[in-house]
Amino acid sequence: MALDKLVIATRASRLALWQAEHVKAELEQQYPHMQVELLSLSTRGDEILDRSLSKIGGKGLFIKELEHALLDGRAHIAVHSLKDVPYELPAEFELAAILPRGNPCDAFVSNHYDDLASMPAGSVVGTSSLRRESQIRARYPDLVVKPLRGNLDTRLGKLDAGEYDAIILAAAGLQRLGLEHRMRTELSADDSLPSAGQGALGIEISQAQHDLLQPLLAPLVCAQSTARAAAERSVSRVLGGSCQIPMAAFAEIIDEGQLLIRALVAEPDGSVVYRAQESGPLEQAQAMGERVAKDLIRQGADEILQRLGQAEHD
């Protein structure tokens, strides 16, 4: 059965709408006779702004309402920032496509300083991520790291109001919204190892719609981005990663057909950081991610994982 109309579920934030419009344009280019519409929804992750993500249930809060729309037939597909998609989806859903990846790096944004190294002791840095926080604390223990919630415009507004001396944001989000000029510095993977899937867009569908939608979405799939995501998300799967655990996983193509995967697990205060990496053929991406995760566990990361994981359930 061919579709003459396709509905995309999306969060209502400006960045999420840009991402959904991007997928809409890709689909319209592939299927010029198909009508493509957006269904904009508010999620709990967007609505609860007075607590950190790690305290309210994690990034999965950004996709639940969209999944409900897939199940009840209001939408055919949901577009997500891949870093917001849990490594294990409920059985009713699947990740049907990963698009060509945007900038995976973190960005340093400040009205007064050029980079983290130039900030004087006691300066306040805002971030919503324990991953970013632990790496900042490890390298710059004299800086003060404070939570920062809200959509991208809200976060920039808090910086401009003087609540923070600098904030760390995903570079891809700034670039997609034409806000590159706010970036003082793009943080290298050595300074701030990215989150699994950062900069990539994922399309989620219900399993019941697989036969109808998978062929439709196939032209949007990027094989290299999919392999990189497979390596990164397998790290998260083995480690049981969540917003309560400072961890990072970043894979990049280093040569034709060759992948480098780097990962870390840290104490929230940055006092201990375990790191591991491996390179190998692209087709072994998932297995490489699993081995890197197990290397971190052997080093001692399991103690951090168990303690913080237990705290998450207390």
Could you confirm whether 269 is annotated as catalytic?
no
What is the secondary structure of 235-277 as a DSSP string?
A: HHHHHT--TTS-EEEEEEEEETTEEEEEEEEE-TTSS-EEEEE
Give the closest residue to 132 by CA, choosing from 49, 64, 240, 53.
Answer: 53
The structural domains of the chain, ordered by start, are 5-101+200-221 (3.40.190.10), 106-186 (3.40.190.10), 232-313 (3.30.160.40)
Give the closest residue to 85 by CA, choosing from 103, 98, 70.
Answer: 98
Binned at pLDDT 50, 70 and 90, residue 44 comes out as: low
Which of 84, 106, 165, 191 is flagged as catalytic? Answer: 84
Sheet with 273-281, side-by-side order of all strands: 247-255, 258-266, 273-281
What's the CA gap between 295 and 280, in Å, rounded?
A: 16
**What is the per-residue pLDDT across 182-217, written as a single tens digit (0 to 9) for each?**
999 999 998 899 999 999 999 999 999 999 999 999
| Percent of the chain residues topping a pLDDT of 70 | 91
Query: pLDDT value at position 124?
Result: 98
**What is the per-residue pLDDT across 268-277, written as a single tens digit (0 to 9) for each?**
999 999 999 9
What's the CA gap between 49 and 292, in Å, rounded?
A: 34
What's the CA gap between 288 and 304, in Å, rounded?
A: 22
Tell me what the mean pLDDT of segment 252-276 comes to.
95
3-state DSSP assignment of residue 226? helix
Q: The pTM is what?
A: 0.89
